[in-house]
C-alpha cells in the first residue's frame, strides 16, 4: 500500500513543479480546442469529473477511469460550440488480459470566413477555414481493488488556412477509491508536451529559419534574409485534482457529489462542483465552475437504454457562460452516446 501512496504523492508534486514558474498568461497557449471537454455527462456536472469518470470518456478526462468498467465500449460525442464551431469526438475501448486499451480521435471544424487585409481594409473576396485534430492511444489498468492508473499518447494538429503545426502530448491519470461511501480521489495531468511552432516562409524563397541579423543574403535570392525562427508557444497543459463520493444511495436511487481543482498554464486556478441524481435509468445533473472571467453553470440529463446488442447511455448537456452567453441557442450544447457490450 505504501508504494501506491508514494505514487499518488508524486502525481501531486510533479505538476506543481512543472507549473511553479508559470502565472496566468491568457492567450499564451495554442491549441485551445484541447480545453473543450467531451461527454455530456461530464459537462452536465460542471466538469468536476476527474474523480467520477469510470467509462470510455476517461480517454479525455482521466485515463485511469478506463480500467473501472470491464466492458468493451464505443463513445460518440457532438458539441455545438459558440460562433458556429463544432467538435466531434469518437473512441473505442477493448478489455484484454493485460488491461484496457482504447483509441480515440477528435475533430474541431467551422465554416469558411472572409479574408481581410489592411491594404484592402475589408474582405478581399477570398475565404479560409481552420480545423484542429487530436488522436490518441490509451492504456489503463487496475492494480488493486482501490487503485487504477492510465496514460495516453496523443498526436495533435492545427490547420490555419494554408499553415499547419503538428505535435505530441501525453496524459497521465490515477484514481484511488477508499471504498467508504464510494469516496474517490482522482488526479490527471493532461496535455503535457513540448512547445510547438509554425514554420513560415514569409519571403517565399523556400527556405526557413534564415538569419535576418547578419545583413547578408545567405540564400542568394537578392534579398537580406527576412525569415527568422518563429517563436514557440505552449499547449494548454492542465492538472486536475478531484474528490467524489456518494451522498445518497438506496432503493434504486443515488446522488453523487464531486468537487475539483484545475490548474492550467494559461489561466488562474478554477474550481468545479457537480451533482448527479439517478433514479432507475434516468439521470439529472448540474454543475458550477468558479474562477473564469465569467462564472458558468451547466445542466443536463440522460437515460440508460438496454438493447439486445448493447447497453446505451444517451446524454445531453447545456452550458451557460454568464455574460458571454448570447441566448439559449448560441451557447454550448452537447449530445453523447456510449455503447457497452
Give me the CATH number covering residue 237. 2.40.160.60
Name the residue with higher pLDDT: 230 or 307: 307
> Is the pLDDT assigned to residue 321 strictly greater than 90?
no
User: How far is residue 42 CA from its own chain's centroid?
Assistant: 11
pTM of the model: 0.82
* Same domain flag for 204 and 304: no
Give Cβ neighbours of residue 324 (< 8 Å, ≥ 6 apart).
Answer: 82, 294
Q: Sign of dihedral through CA atoms 177, 282, 72, 153?
A: negative
* Same domain flag for 43 and 53: yes
* Same domain flag for 221 and 236: no
pLDDT tens digits, 48-65? 999 999 999 999 999 999
Dihedrals phi, psi of 134, to nearest 5 degrees? -135, 140
Give the Cα-Cα-Cα angle 208, 209, 213 (nearest 5 degrees).
130
Domain assignment of residue 32, given as a range: 2-197+232-340
* Same domain flag for 59 and 89: yes
- pLDDT score of 227: 56
Give the Cα-Cα-Cα angle 329, 334, 337 (nearest 5 degrees).
145
pLDDT band of residue 4 (cuts 50, 70, 90) is very low
DSSP states of 115-139: EEETTTTEEEEEEE-EEEEEEEEEE
**Residue recorded with cell 474582405:** 123
* Same domain flag for 111 and 147: yes
Among 189-193, 222-226, 244-248, 303-307, where is mean pLDDT lowest?
A: 222-226
* Same domain flag for 57 and 187: yes
- pLDDT score of 17: 45
- Going through the chain in order, the beta strands assigned E by DSSP cover 73-80, 86-96, 99-109, 113-117, 122-128, 130-142, 147-160, 163-177, 184-192, 238-250, 253-264, 270-279, 282-290, 296-306, 311-320, 333-340
Average pLDDT of the segment spanning 78-84 = 88
Q: Which of 81, 63, 57, 293 is nearest to 192 (CA)?
A: 63
Write down the H helix ranges in the chain: 2-18, 40-44, 58-61
Q: How many domains does the chain have?
A: 2
* Same domain flag for 218 and 327: no
* Same domain flag for 120 and 207: no
Q: What is the DSSP letter of 232?
A: P
* CA dihedral of 115, 118, 123, 126, whole degrees rounded to 10: -40
Average pLDDT of the segment spanning 205-233 = 61
Number of Cβ within 10 Å of residue 194's Cβ equals: 11
- pLDDT score of 187: 95
* Same domain flag for 99 and 209: no
Give Cβ neighbours of residue 131 (< 8 Å, ≥ 6 apart).
Answer: 107, 108, 109, 110, 158, 159
Do 198 and 167 form a contact (C-beta atoms < 8 A)? Answer: no
Q: How far is CA 51 from CA 54, 170, 183, 191, 273, in A?
A: 8, 19, 9, 18, 12
* Same domain flag for 262 and 294: yes
Domain boundary among 208, 230, 252: 230
C-alpha cell at 143: 492494480
pLDDT tens digits, 124-175? 778 888 899 999 999 999 988 899 999 999 999 998 887 888 999 999 999 9
C-alpha cell at 29: 497557449
Dihedrals phi, psi of 84, to nearest 5 degrees? 75, 15
Adjacent-strand bridge partners of 316: 301, 335
d(CA 139, CA 314): 25
* Same domain flag for 223 and 80: no
pLDDT band of residue 201 (cuts 50, 70, 90) is low
C-alpha cell at 223: 534579398
Amino acid at each position: 500500500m505504501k508504494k501506491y501512496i508514494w505514487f499518488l504523492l508524486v502525481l501531486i508534486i510533479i505538476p506543481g513543479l512543472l507549473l511553479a514558474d508559470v502565472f496566468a498568461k491568457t492567450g499564451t497557449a495554442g491549441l485551445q480546442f484541447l480545453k473543450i471537454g467531451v461527454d455530456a455527462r461530464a459537462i452536465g456536472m460542471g466538469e468536476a469529473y476527474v474523480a467520477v469518470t469510470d467509462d470510455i470518456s476517461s480517454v479525455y478526462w482521466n485515463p485511469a477511469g478506463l480500467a473501472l468498467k470491464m466492458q468493451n465500449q464505443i463513445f460518440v460525442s457532438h458539441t455545438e460550440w459558440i460562433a458556429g464551431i463544432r467538435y466531434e469526438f469518437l473512441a473505442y475501448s477493448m478489455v484484454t488480459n493485460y488491461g484496457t486499451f482504447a483509441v480515440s480521435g477528435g475533430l474541431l471544424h467551422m465554416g469558411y470566413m472572409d479574408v481581410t487585409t489592411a491594404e484592402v481594409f475589408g474582405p478581399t473576396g477570398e475565404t479560409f477555414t481552420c480545423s484542429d485534430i487530436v488522436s490518441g492511444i490509451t492504456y489503463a489498468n487496475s492494480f488493486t481493488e482501490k487503485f487504477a492508473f492510465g496514460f495516453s499518447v496523443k498526436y495533435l494538429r492545427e490547420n490555419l488556412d494554408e499553415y499547419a503545426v503538428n505535435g505530441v502530448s501525453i496524459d497521465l491519470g490515477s484514481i484511488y477509491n477508499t471504498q467508504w461511501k464510494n469516496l474517490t480521489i482522482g488526479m490527471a495531468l493532461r496535455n503535457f508536451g513540448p512547445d510547438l511552432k509554425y514554420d513560415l516562409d514569409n519571403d517565399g524563397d523556400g527556405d526557413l529559419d534564415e538569419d535576418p541579423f547578419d545583413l547578408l543574403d545567405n540564400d542568394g535570392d537578392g534579398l537580406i534574409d527576412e525569415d527568422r525562427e518563429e517563436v514557440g508557444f505552449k499547449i494548454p497543459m492542465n492538472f486536475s485534482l478531484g474528490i467524489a463520493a456518494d451522498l445518497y444511495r438506496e432503493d434504486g436511487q443515488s446522488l453523487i457529489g464531486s468537487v475539483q481543482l484545475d490548474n492550467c498554464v494559461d489561466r488562474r486556478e478554477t474550481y468545479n462542483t457537480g451533482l448527479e441524481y439517478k433514479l432507475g435509468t434516468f439521470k439529472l445533473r448540474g454543475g458550477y465552475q468558479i474562477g473564469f472571467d465569467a462564472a458558468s453553470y451547466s445542466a443536463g440529463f440522460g437515460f440508460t437504454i438496454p438493447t439486445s446488442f448493447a447497453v446505451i447511455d444517451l446524454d445531453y448537456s447545456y452550458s451557460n457562460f454568464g455574460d458571454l452567453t448570447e441566448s439559449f441557442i448560441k451557447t454550448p450544447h452537447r449530445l453523447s452516446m456510449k455503447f457497452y457490450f
